[in-house]
């Protein structure tokens, strides 16, 4: 009889220990899930920030890329960022576009880049007006000039292109 009581007690203790272990496992699992959620939220916002600030096309990035291409004399890539009617003002093709910048360089003007000053909305969501400061060296002297381009977002690719000038 004593042995039966002891066996029953052992069984009850064993069941209680199993329940305790199960509760502990559930708590651990819950804490792991909570930790994952807590870590995922800031990672989501950091990733979103990185994508918006460094990956996704923006009017500012297009202006910076355009003038960086010109500064590196990568005229083909600069020309690829233009669309009509602005593209038509740069000559009849890539050859005229290149010749325009080579002529400037031969006369002592070297383009260094641009600083975007302001991006303004227009009456169309897909069009922005971007004002900038062009940085260059003219005959050895550091100079700047202000300008503004209209940029339009391509609805298929999301890329911004220079479509007009406000100079």
pLDDT tens profile 98-108? 999 999 898 88
- Tell me the range of 2-6, 9-13, 34-38, 133-137 where mean pLDDT is highest: 133-137
Q: Is the pLDDT of residue 97 over 90?
A: yes
Q: Are 145 and 91 part of one and the same domain?
A: yes
Please state the pTM of the whole predicted model: 0.67
Q: Is the pLDDT of residue 47 over 70?
A: no
The 3-class SS string of the chain reads CHHHHHHHHHHHHHHHHHHHHHHHHHHHHHHHHHHHHHHHHHHHHHHHHHHHHHHCCCHHHHHHHHHHHHHCCCHHHHHHCECCCCHHHHCCCHHHHHHHHHHHHHCCEEEEEEEEEEEEECCCCCEEEEEEEEEEEECCEEEEEEEEEEEEECCCCCCEEEEEECC
Q: Which domain holds residue 49?
A: 1-56
Using the 3D structure, point to which of 56, 78, 102 is the last residue of a domain. Answer: 56
Using the 3D structure, point to which of 29, 56, 83 is the last residue of a domain. Answer: 56
| Averaged pLDDT score across all residues of the chain | 85
* Proportion of the chain above pLDDT 90, given as a percent: 47
pLDDT tens profile 6-35: 777 677 777 777 878 888 888 888 878 877
């Amino acid at each position: 009889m004593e042995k039966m009581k002891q066996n029953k007690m052992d069984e009850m203790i064993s069941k209680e220990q199993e329940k305790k272990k199960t509760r502990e496992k559930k708590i651990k699992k819950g804490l792991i899930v909570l930790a994952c959620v807590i870590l995922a939220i800031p990672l989501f916002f950091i990733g979103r920030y990185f994508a918006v600030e460094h990956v996704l096309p923006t009017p500012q990035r297009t202006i910076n890329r355009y003038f960086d291409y010109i500064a590196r004399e990568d005229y083909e890539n600069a020309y690829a960022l233009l669309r009509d009617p602005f593209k038509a003002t740069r000559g009849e093709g890539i050859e005229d576009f290149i010749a325009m910048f080579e002529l400037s360089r031969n006369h002592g003007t070297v383009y260094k880049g641009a600083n975007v000053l302001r991006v303004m909305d227009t009456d169309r969501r897909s069009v922005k007006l971007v004002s900038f400061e062009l940085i260059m060296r003219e005959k050895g002297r550091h100079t700047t000039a202000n300008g503004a381009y209209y940029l339009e977002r391509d609805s298929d690719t999301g890329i911004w292109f220079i479509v007009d000038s406000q100079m």
